[in-house]
Structure 1
Amino acid sequence: MRRKIFEPEHAQFRETARDFFLKECAPHAAEWEAAGISDRAVWTKAGAIGLLGWEAPEQYGGLDLKDFRYNAILTEEMHATGSVGVGFGLQNDILSSYMVGLTTDEQKARWLPGFVSGDLIVAIAMSEPGAGSDLAGISTTARRDGDYYVLNGAKTFISSGYLSDLVLTVAKTDPAAGHRGVSLIAVETDTPGFSRGRKLDKIGQKSADTAELSYQDVRVPVTNLVGEENRGFYHLMRNLPAERLGIAIHAVASARRAIELTVEYAHNRKAFGQPIGNFQVNRHAIADMTTKLDVMQVYVDRCVEAVNEGELTGEEAAGAKFWATETQWEIVDRCLQLHGGYGYVNEYEIARIWRDARVQRLYGGTTEIMKDLIGRKLGF
């Protein structure tokens, strides 16, 4: 189905992104998967050709361009080229909103040039061992001590936790106030008392480093407060819809890649003297998945338009996130089944896509949490 959300300038960006992923990422997929982390040099290469931080003002190296269609294109081309996960989506889809929209002029001058060039990799630390989707239940604290905050606590499941130079940390500056006492504090990773724990051994997305972080009397200048003190929860709620839409875009792109590989396999793999795609059961399965993919793409494209128009609601983003990721899993699992035994062999790309897809229904808020958000809006 022909998509209608893009303009001619988007086609040029898509070519740039595809060429970059084919040259700089796809050839290193196996290497980065085995290492459990991607090469840091790929970040500066991406920054050099404008693939990072385009929302930043021009004076800091960006393009002052707020158009989520570019975010979608970058994600789509990463999947289309068979590249493994690099944290560009985290930098562009999630952290740009904080780094550009909530920072002071002094903070922009400090951080945005590196954010755009790829020299400053940023992570966001929300989840804790005892608090995942419940952001109000975090226990990491930031106690004010003169011109400093003193942070204590632990975080887990932190994407880019090992590569990051700056961690936007969710902490309680007023523990007695519940979610009204949460703030966002940027912590440079070379600050004394900050440390990285083990690199988590995940089922999938192995090249995207994920770490545990520890804060032990970490003294951070109050000038590193991002946004308003005790307003962090509301900052997070404002930016979560874009994060969840980004996950939905990944879901569509991943499912598309899985179907493309499966169609090719079904044409070439023969059983009982004919391509397996000629069997009605397989042909119907592929037809069913292709139609679901088209429906999912239209839904997500409309959400991209809505976020550009400033109209995407939290409930709409939650719906896109849960429905797209659940449909992605259905499609990817069926595609692996159609590959037969070869689908279970790691050297086949469909196996990696299947492993990588499982977490989509968990991070950014589980499917169950997304449904609950929608249900609450309906008055339940």
Structure 2
Amino acid sequence: MNTKQKNSLINIFLFLFIPYFLFIKEYFTFVSLYVVLLTAWVLFFNRSLIKKHLQKFISTQSDIKKLRYHFIKDLGKSIDCQSRLSNISVLNNIGMISYIVGLLNIAAISSLLTKVIGESKIIGLFNYISILLLLIFILWGWLCSLAFKYTTVFYCTIPLISLFVYSIFEPYLNWVQIPIKLCIYLFITGICYIFGVLILPLHILRKLNTKTVIISAILTILSTVLVQSSSLFTSMIINEQEMLLTKEMIQQDTSFPKEIINFLQNEDVISIINHFIKKEVTSEFTGAISLLSAGITLSFLIGGLLVTLRLSNAKKKAKATLYTALIGNSNIEYNCLVKCAYLGGDEYENIIVSNPNLLKIVKQYETTIILPPKIPYRIRLKKTLLNIIWP
């Protein structure tokens, strides 16, 4: 038996046999303690490897923030995007087994705390916060990858994410009036959009900024069509659910006295009652559609305003940085030009390229930079579909 086989047997014994033996013997406290200690031992044993990967991730992230992968000649900023995606992929490559181990440790620590202090709301709060943090850690890399690759999809799904977060707290808001509920939902949406806008680099936000106007226009048209068509949808709902009053329904109901049943069977009375039923259902349905349309439209309006605000502030910083460098007596550095191009976008890239002195500085640093080949849309679409089907 070689060393590799011996190590495999030891791992099977440590990770499977001992916990299983303790579990079938119903030594649940020892199982919880064993899971926590075994996890701590594995982390300690692999501390050098974990530290190495963590330092690499932090170092690459620092280089990205310093715009080491941002080049003026790279019009599509593909090198910068690839460096960001490759660094984020470190989070995605941790593996599902690590997340399962995290859940097992949360359950084990919760069980040990219950043995020590008994049933308590503090333990429930610990479980809720721990699982929430673990889910954020699990989804963070995936969400960042989605934001960089499919920015428009990410931008459009933020209201749905906000609705999911709102639904968690909705049972505690039954006493709150509908306008206040709408304000709470918009507040959550604003926070989600703030995080979304902050994690996206400026060159990706600029591509999105042109699409926000189209999205807002489409939503406005759809909202108008839905509100105007509410009466049609109401009629379909009423007919489908058989909500209108008929003579057969009155005759089958024996809870009323005979005199009232005879009165209700009058054609005029039935038509008046059905009129008010249609009016009430139409009013409720139109109100719900209007509230939904207002919530979605205002959500995208908040997102568009935040995107525009960040881009305008970045452009002001680019103007101040470039003018200070041009007017000052000191020599202009390449890093300063890259920063101006990143903050100001195409407008300031054109200013830099059109200036012979600034263009000379750029050429000194970017002549040897080789841009990655442009992948045809057909191949990118095929790769995306394969990643969805076979991740």
- The interval holding the TM-score normalised by the smaller chain is under 0.3
More helix by share: 2
Q: TM-score, normalised by structure 2?
A: 0.25
Q: TM-score, normalised by structure 1?
A: 0.26
Name which one, 1 or 2, has greater alpha-carbon Rg.
2
